[in-house]
Amino acid sequence: MPSGAGQLKHLRLFSLAGLLWLAANLCAQATPQLERTAELTWQIDAPWFGGFSGIEVLDNGSTLRLITDKGRIINAQMQRDETGALTAITDTTWRKMRYRNGIGVKGPFTDSEGLALTPDGRMFVTFELRHRMAEVDPATGIMTPLPGHADFAGFGENSGLEALALHPDGRLFALPERSASRQAPFNLYSFDGTRWRITGQLARRGPFQPVGADFDANGTLYLLERAVTPLGFRSRIRRFDPDKTQQSDTTLLTTAPARVDNLEGLSGWQDAAGRTHLTLISDDNFMAIQRTQIIEYRLKE
Q: Give percent of the chain with pLDDT exceeding 90.
A: 81
Calpha distance 283→162 (Å, rounded): 12
Contact 266, 222 (CB under 8 A): yes
Q: Give percent of the chain with pLDDT exceeding 70.
A: 89
- pTM, 2 dp: 0.88
Task: Dump strand ranges (E) for 45-85.
Answer: 52-58, 63-68, 72-80
How confident is the model at residue 244, as a pLDDT? 72
Alpha helix segments (H runs only) across the chain: 4-30
- Side-chain-side CA neighbours of residue 96 (13 Å): 12
Calpha distance 212→112 (Å, rounded): 12
Q: How confident is the model at residue 183 (pLDDT cuts 50, 70, 90)?
A: confident
Going by C-alpha positions, the residue among 226, 214, 120 that lies closest to residue 173 is: 214
Per-residue pLDDT of 196-220, as tens digits, reads 999 999 999 999 999 999 999 999 9
Calpha distance 30→107 (Å, rounded): 48
Per-residue pLDDT of 184-198, as tens digits, reads 999 999 999 999 999
Q: What is the dihedral of CA 64, 69, 71, 73, to 10 degrees?
A: -10
Calpha distance 107→264 (Å, rounded): 21
Calpha distance 194→171 (Å, rounded): 10
Q: How many CB atoms neighbour CB 92 within 10 A?
A: 16
- Give the DSSP letter of residue 98: B
How confident is the model at residue 247, as a pLDDT? 63
Give 242 or 290, the one with higher predicted confidence: 290
Q: How many CB atoms neighbour CB 58 within 10 A?
A: 16
Per-residue pLDDT of 84-93, as tens digits, reads 999 999 999 9
Per-residue pLDDT of 129-176, as tens digits, reads 999 999 999 999 999 999 999 999 999 888 899 999 999 999 999 999
Q: How confident is the model at residue 30 (pLDDT cuts 50, 70, 90)?
A: low
Going by C-alpha positions, the residue among 201, 243, 252, 196 that lies closest to residue 224 is: 252
Helix and strand totals (H; E) in the chain: 1, 20
